[in-house]
Amino acid sequence: MWLRAPLFSGLDVSHVHGLAPPALTLGWLDRLRGIVRGRLLVKGIVTGEDADSAIAHGADGIIVSNHGGRNEETLRATIDCLAEVVAASRSRVPVLIDGGLRRGTDVFKAMALGAAGVGIGRPQGWGLAAFGQEGVEAVLDIYARELEAIMRQAGTPTVSAIGPHSIVRRNAA
């Protein structure tokens, strides 16, 4: 039988009471920036003000994510936060989005709103759980086919041709 050491073997986790420090401050980000030698992406940004602060304190990229806040129906969807964060970033760093992108058309919309990339973790997880590697490959293939179809319909022959002109914005009533 194969055995492995417990994940936290030898670590004192008696004072760990959650997954994140209760008071994540810009000082905490400054300390993290001092430790991390590679690229530092800050995930969980949903406002322009937070994007601007993260960039000012050393973020090399932003990931728009509400960490599942829509599950509770209490926070804005990530796609609704994207344009504000992209505008605040002023092209200083790439802005990615993670959460709620369930179709290739969602990827298209995110890119039209300025996302440099998208995360699609849950659908890949569903594919993996249902059919293993083939399930993940099938999910990615569905996304690619749907993205290609909407690109043709919108007259955007390349990914780089996708932009704000590619979508129609509805006015809030």
Catalytic residue annotation: 67
Buried b (16+ CB within 10 A) or exposed e, 77-97: ebbebbbbbbebbeeebbbbb
CA torsion sign for 30, 36, 37, 42 is negative
For 109, list phi and psi in degrees, rounded to 5. Answer: -60, -45
Collapsing DSSP states into helix, strand and coil, what is residue 62? strand
Residues β-bridged to residue 97: 64, 118
